[in-house]
Amino acid sequence: MSDVRKAAVAGTWYPGSAAALAAAVDGHLAAADSQGADLKGSLVALIAPHAGLMYSGPVAAHAYRLLRDRTFEVAVLVGPSHFVGFDGVSLYPSGGFATPFGVAPVDEDCARAIAAASAIVHDDHPAIHAREHSLEMQLPFLERLAPSVPIVPLLMGYQTAETASALGDALAVALRGRRALLIASTDLSHYHDAGTASALDRVVIDCVTRLDPDGLQAALDARPEHACGGGPTVAVMRAARASGAQDAVILNYADSGDVSGDKSSVVGYLAAAMGTFVKGPFVRGQTPYKVSDPLQETPYKTPYNPLQS
């Protein structure tokens, strides 16, 4: 297959061999299975973090476990560009993404439909994707649980309200009639103490719980630090609503200090699902998680670790 993007962070942010990666992913899924509630109904979209697997994997597993016993034709991944600034959205149009589990192929027909739906989506600079980890970090779970589902990778450059809105509308149009899973890749606040992070992250959590992309966009306009992938999250929320999602469920929340032990400087992680779900204890407005308690802060500080974000 031509145009295969090489894995950028395999062997560093997550295990580089298939066997070791499977063991790590399965371990996170088993832990999430022991804590998470079943969610019945139509799943349209997920929100999942993109830090190193040891940090955000325990949270991401709560989102990806929902793929069991569900089928999709395509998974559309939307994440932020951490290394290259540009206007609009960069589409990886063909080929695939290499992973230790094999190549995740791009759904070229769906990619063309998304590009045709809006001028803000361009496919002329696939090199933008070379170093970026925000989409790659979704693939260990996606390829483990849904290896036959092709992907469409989308990176958002400058996260303006106009870009997020246009992409959300384009996704809704292009995916009409397809059994598509939308995935927003984002971490939440970065490098605040746990109490400050919890307050900032609660704003995002509340907007997601209400399935309110406009409210989230307003919060991001006021304080972009709420989420590094805020624009992609707004776009996916808009597309999910337009695609019929009626409910949003917060599946899990944690921060990097839950792994490192350092609560003085944390990155927030969120797992959420959007769709139309059979009403149960955690549908719309109720959350099966506990936001970090600032009283749990520890008096020591570990060095900055890029794997946390």
Domains annotated for the chain, with CATH where assigned, are 4-294 (3.40.830.10)
Half-sphere exposure of 122 (CA within 13 A, CB side): 11
Q: Say how far apart CA 196 and CA 199 lie, in whole Å.
A: 5
Is residue 146 within 8 A of residue 104, CB to CB? The reply is no
Residue range 204-222: average pLDDT?
96
More confident residue, 290 or 214: 214
3-state secondary structure of 90: strand
**What share of the chain in percent tops pLDDT 70?**
90
**What share of the chain in percent tops pLDDT 90?**
84
String of DSSP letters for 194-256: HHHHHHHHHHHHHHHHTT-HHHHHHHHHH-GGG-TTHHHHHHHHHHHHHTT--EEEEEEEEET
Residue range 94-110: average pLDDT?
97
Is residue 189 within 8 A of residue 268, CB to CB? The reply is yes
Q: What is the pLDDT of residue 285?
A: 38
- In the predicted structure, residue 60 carries a pLDDT above the cut 90: yes
Q: What is the pLDDT of residue 307?
A: 59
Instruction: Map tokens 């469920």 to a residue.
Output: 249
Residue range 149-164: average pLDDT?
97
- pTM listed for this prediction: 0.90
